[in-house]
Structure 1
Amino acid sequence: MRFNRMLLSTTLVIVALVIQVSVLARLHLPGAVPDLVLLTVLGLALVYGHVGGALIGFGAGLLSDLAPPADHAAGRYALVLCVIGYLAGLAKPETGRLKSATGPMVVVVVAALGTTLLYAGVGALVGDDAARHVGLSSLLFTAALYDLLLAPFVVPGVMALARRAENDPLAETGSAAKASDVSSGWLSSGTGLRIGNQRGGLRIKAARSRMARAGRIKGVKRL
């Protein structure tokens, strides 16, 4: 991944994680907690593709595993978001532009359901059966509902920032500098040609004036 992608992705994930832990988790909504980190990963994956989505999902999940008050094994959510980021990246439009909001909304709902199921499944493998006590059906419904309501305010903004960062101002500056070098080279070479032509013209004019002057002097002597 390029540096600007890494910097933007890290910044957005950290901001989303801080808001989720400090604000959304304290709302005490029934069922699941709105997953702002998941929506950020989805927005980036829809721009960067499946490889970028998998890498960003793994990093975001690992930060979520380590952020307090984490009560599960480290790496559990990293595995889940890595898979979800990879699958969401496969839905990246070929042209890079979305024709409608239907596709991203479907991706959000499927990702919310898939994240909850994968998280509960991995928890069952390691002996964590908390989802059974809370109610898996309630978690699935509330996770999809909260994420779907929050998605229009998060996913488009994340995608817009990711596309803007893809322009790479440093590369544009380098290209502009290269173009200016080329243009200045053309101008210098053209100026050299013009100066050479001017010098040649001056030489020819000087030679003609000398010949004319010599002719006038010879004429005077003949008289």
Structure 2
Amino acid sequence: MSRRIALALLAVGAAVIVQTTLLARIPVFGVVPDLVLLTVIACARRLDAEPAVVLGFTAGLVIDLLGSAPLGLRAMVLTIVAYATVRTRERFEISVPTIGVAVWGIAFGGGVLLVIVGTLFGERILSDPLVLRQILLGPVYDVILAAAVLPLMTRVLGGDRRREMVL
């Protein structure tokens, strides 16, 4: 296992701990930012394609094991989020606003996918009165949190120096 992959796994583990213990207890307007999703996006920007997708799956599986949702729901969503990040990472690293828009778009897509797939799995996500607020505000909170997470993960994981940007 390479140093980058080990550091990415540690970062996802730390994000899971912070997400489940701290952020879950302090919702803003009933919505909590998805730190695990954001960490998967940040790591997928710096890892090769296969480790990034496996990291997304692993992060989602850990969240599934800690929650009450059907096993594999978040794993599938975070795998697709990691894949989308890998496929678009070269295109959205033009400027800081472009990175913010890309993070919002991927987080929004992940939230919509979670609602759709969760509904198909029998979860009553669409009947939740806060679902629209979660879908719209969650990615905004993720973009705000990305101002700290993306530069940190860039420093931790390293990467191609010509592509590195500090927000």
TM class by shorter chain equals 0.7 to 0.9
Verify the 8 A CA contact 1:41 1:85 in the aligned structure 2. Answer: yes
Per the TM alignment, residue 101 of structure 1 is displaced from its structure 2 partner at its CA by 1.2
CA contact (8 A) 2:5 2:47 kept: no
Deviation at 1:160, TM superposition (A): 2.0
CA RMSD of aligned residues (A): 2.2
Q: Would the aligned equivalents of 1:31 and 1:142 in 2 still touch at CA under 8 Å?
A: no
Per-residue Cα deviation, 1:101-126 (whole angstroms, up to 9, x for no partner): 12321221012211111111111111
Q: In structure 2, the residue corresponding to 1:133 is in which secondary structure?
A: coil
Distance 1:20 1:72 in 2: 16
In structure 2, the CA distance between the partners of 1:7 and 1:133, relative to structure 1 (3 Å rule), is: same
Q: How many residues align?
A: 161
TM-score, structure 1 as length reference: 0.66
Q: Helix, strand or coil for the counterpart of 1:131?
A: coil
Q: Is the 8 A contact 1:41 1:56 kept in 2?
A: yes
Is the 1:47–1:162 contact (alpha carbons within 8 Å) kept by the matching residues of 2? yes
Question: How far does residue 28 in structure 1 lie from its aligned partner after superposition?
Answer: 2.9
* Separation (CA, whole Å) in 2 of partners of 1:160 and 1:102: 19
Q: Which residue does 1:129 correspond to in 2?
A: 124
Q: CA deviation at 1:78?
A: 0.4
Counterpart of 2:51 in structure 1 is 52
Is residue 154 of structure 1 aligned with residue 159 of structure 2?
A: no
Question: Does residue 114 of the first structure (1) align with residue 109 of the second (2)?
Answer: yes
Of Structure 1 and Structure 2, which has the larger fraction of its residues in helix?
1
Please tell me whether the aligned partners of residues 50 and 88 of structure 1 are also in contact (alpha carbons under 8 angstroms). no
Structure 1 residue runs of 4+, over 6 Å off? none
1:24 maps to a residue whose letter is L
Once the two structures are superposed, residues 75-117 of structure 1 have per-residue CA deviations (whole angstroms, 9 ceiling, x without a partner) of 11000000010011112238xxx44212321221012211111
Q: Identity across aligned pairs (percent)?
A: 30
Q: Distance in 1 between matches of 2:108 and 2:98?
A: 16
Unaligned segments of structure 1, at least 5 residues: 167-223
SS at match of 1:48: coil
In structure 2, runs of 5+ residues without a counterpart are 161-167
Question: TM-score if structure 2 supplies the norm length?
Answer: 0.86
Structure 1 residues 110 and 120: alpha-carbon distance in aligned structure 2, compared to 1, 3 A threshold: same
CA distance in structure 1 between the aligned counterparts of 2:48 and 2:5, rounded to whole angstroms = 14
Structure with the larger RCO, 1 or 2 (CA within 8 Å, 6+ apart): 2
CA separation in 1, counterparts of 2:147 and 2:153? Answer: 10
